[in-house]
Amino acid sequence: MGNNKKYVVEANFIKEACQLNLSLKEFLLLLYFENADELTFDLELISKKLKVEKEDIMDAFNNLLAKNIISLESVKNSESGKIYDKVSLDGLYEKLQELTKKEQKKNMKEDIFTKFETEFRRPLHGSEIEIIKAWLDKMYNEDLILRALDEAIYNGAVSIRYIDTILYEWHRKGYVTSEDVDNANKKSFENKHLEETNVFDIDWLNEYDKL
């Protein structure tokens, strides 16, 4: 491209950009902004560097604005004091972050099924898979689901129905994460210990004499 500058593009950027359904010219324009020293929209310069017609550059630019992938921000030059429009890529980064979260959630679901099959020591039945999916759709924290699985294993009752009962009770009590369960168990243990301590603190002989 112009001035012998090589535009660097990471493999992840290509993959994620494809998921945003970008045209080739939109992708090239984003790539230009990703590598640009100054994020200003200089139509003449961009057309020259990308070797793309100005009309096509304008179409790509307007499309990226419409998709909220880029935006324009008014910025004041600290030296001249003049106001100029600066291209912001915040929209792009937010969308890429959303795609990453979706990918992580997809991987999370695959991992949780594998975990259940490992602990059940058999493949999951179709109905069991649907129940686990329903847990995730109910926005049960994956960490909480796995904690319920551990609880079932500890109690020697490894079944989907038993785990569903545990999750229902935890949800009813307002537990969202495994940390909530830990805190509740700790509080319960402390209260029980306090009750036992109070029992042994009673002067039973004097109390008996009062009868």
- Which domains are delineated in the chain? 2-88 (1.10.10.10), 104-204 (1.10.10.630)
Mean pLDDT, range 174-194, rounded to an integer: 78
What are the two backbone dihedrals, phi and then psi, of residue 173, each rounded to the nearest 5 degrees?
-85, -5
Spatial CB neighbours of 41, under 8 Å, sequence gap ≥ 6: 61, 72, 85, 87
Mean pLDDT, range 193-210, rounded to an integer: 50
pTM: 0.46
Mean pLDDT, range 94-113, rounded to an integer: 74
As a whole number of angstroms, the distance between CA 13 and CA 81 comes to 35
Nearest to 54 by CA among 45, 40, 65, 43: 43
What pLDDT is stored for residue 204 in this prediction? Answer: 43
62-98: pLDDT as tens digits: 999 999 999 988 887 777 777 878 899 888 888 888 8
What pLDDT is stored for residue 1 in this prediction? Answer: 40
| Confidence label for 141 from pLDDT (cuts 50, 70 and 90) | confident
pLDDT > 70: what percent of the chain? Answer: 77
pLDDT score of 2 more than 50: no
As a whole number of angstroms, the distance between CA 130 and CA 124 comes to 10
